[in-house]
Amino acid sequence: MLEIEDLRAEIDGKEILKGVSLSIGPGETHAIMGPNGSGKSTLSYVIAGRDGYEITGGSIRFLGEDLAEMEPEERARAGLFLAFQYPLEIPGVTTTTFLRTALNAHRKARGEDELDPMGFIKLVRAKTRALGIADDMLKRPVNVGFSGGEKKRNEVLQMALLEPRLAVLDETDSGLDIDALKVVADGVNALRDPQRSTLVITHYQRLLGYIVPDHVHILAGGRIVRSGGAELAEELEARGYAGVVPEAA
């Protein structure tokens, strides 16, 4: 699914990722944990193709394609979804319009017909019901005036609608209360199947209690310094970053 080899990347000439290697197979859930400033968010932005994040070495391949050659929207249409740590506000654009525009862009890329507004509303209502999200969110402008929890629910709704092959969750747990956390986790878990993979990026072990990873990696100083199973997250929780990876502290 996702093959990262010796990836190096910099922002404004400053090297942040210093040789990251990671392989995620179909159906797998991986977690990347790391202290602040370890390069976690940079990794997610490099995967999604944000401007200003320059790849200086190594490679990222997604479903066999070289991501470095693709525009952000091409990556998205190929099945890559990034749940943002800080979802953006788009004043005046209702969530419905935004979702429909995004979904139709995907459908068009796949050679399918675009959904008309009525057909779309039926589909999106089914998704909101399954996720336990209030329909009123659909009428409001994208993320404008949303609470932190609502913004993250909106991310999960978008993910449920676009049905990505790989979902990258960037600090999705930050600022969430327990109820919102469960909605998010349920949404992610509902999408889990042998053909889909998930990469959870987080500082804390909390979310991993709800989205149980197959593999856990610790990112520190721009490198993956340790990998293991779900138990590694628990070890981190018990001993802290300083205890588990002294070089990270």
Partner 1 sequence: MAAVEETLQQIRSVTNERYKYGFVTDIEQETAPKGLDESTIAFISAKKEEPAWLLDWRLKAFRRWQEMPEPNWAKVSFPPIDYQDAYYYAAPKQKVAPNSLDEVDPELLRTYEKLGIPLDEQKVLAGVVAVDAVFDSVSVATTFKAKLAEAGVIFCSISEAVREHPDLVRKYLGSVVPTSDNYFAALNSAVFTDGSFVYVPPGVRCPMELSTYFRINAQNTGQFERTLIIADAGSYVSYLEGCTAPQRDENQLHAAVVELVALDDAEIKYSTVQNWYPGDENGVGGIYNFVTKRAACRGRNSKVSWTQVETGSAITWKYPSCILQGENSVGEFYSVAITNNRQQADTGTKMIHIGRNTRSRIISKGISAGRSDNTYRGLVRMLPGADNARNFTQCDSLLIGDQCGAHTVPYIESRTPTGQVEHEATTSKVSEDQLFYCRQRGIDEEEALALIVNGFCREVLQVLPMEFAVEAQKLVGISLEGSVG
Q: How many residues bind partner 1 (CB under 8 A)?
A: 31
* Binding test (CB under 8 A) with partner 1, winner from 26, 72, 149, 209: 72
Taking CB under 8 A as the rule, does residue 118 contact partner 1?
Answer: no
Tell me how far apart the alpha carbons of residues 48 and 85 are, in angstroms, rounded to a whole number: 13
Tell me how far apart the alpha carbons of residues 99 and 103 are, in angstroms, rounded to a whole number: 6
Residues 49-68, mask of contacts with partner 1 (x by CB under 8 A): -xxx----------------
Taking CB under 8 A as the rule, does residue 70 contact partner 1?
Answer: no
Nearer to partner 1, 141 or 149 (CB): 141
- The pairing of strands 53-62 and 223-228 is unpaired
Cβ neighbours around 50 below 10 Å, total: 14
Tell me how far apart the alpha carbons of residues 14 and 17 are, in angstroms, rounded to a whole number: 9
Sheet holding 14-24, edge to edge: 14-24, 2-11, 53-62, 65-66
Residues 82-111, mask of contacts with partner 1 (x by CB under 8 A): x-x--xxxxxxx---xx--xx--xx--x--
DSSP assignment of 178-191 equals HHHHHHHHHHHHHH
Inter-CA distances, 27 with 1, 2, 40, 85, Å = 9, 11, 22, 23
Taking CB under 8 A as the rule, does residue 48 contact partner 1?
Answer: yes
Minimum CB separation from partner 1 for residue 133, in Å?
17
Nearer to partner 1, 89 or 177 (CB): 89
- The one-letter code for the residue type at 106 is H
Nearer to partner 1, 64 or 92 (CB): 92
* Binding test (CB under 8 A) with partner 1, winner from 33, 76, 166, 176: 76
Stretch that binds partner 1, among 17-25, 81-89, 181-189, 216-224 (CB under 8 A): 81-89
Nearer to partner 1, 105 or 131 (CB): 105
Taking CB under 8 A as the rule, does residue 141 contact partner 1?
Answer: yes
Tell me how far apart the alpha carbons of residues 101 and 114 are, in angstroms, rounded to a whole number: 9
Whether 15 contacts 54, CB under 8 Å: no
Assigned token pair, 189: 């878990």
Minimum CB separation from partner 1 for residue 73, in Å?
4
Minimum CB separation from partner 1 for residue 220, in Å?
26
Tell me how far apart the alpha carbons of residues 205 and 233 are, in angstroms, rounded to a whole number: 6
**CA proximity to 62, closest of 102, 123, 4:** 4
* Binding test (CB under 8 A) with partner 1, winner from 81, 120, 146, 241: 81
| Sites of contact with partner 1 (CB under 8 A) | 48, 50-52, 71-73, 75-77, 81-82, 84, 87-93, 97-98, 101-102, 105-106, 109, 141-142, 158, 162
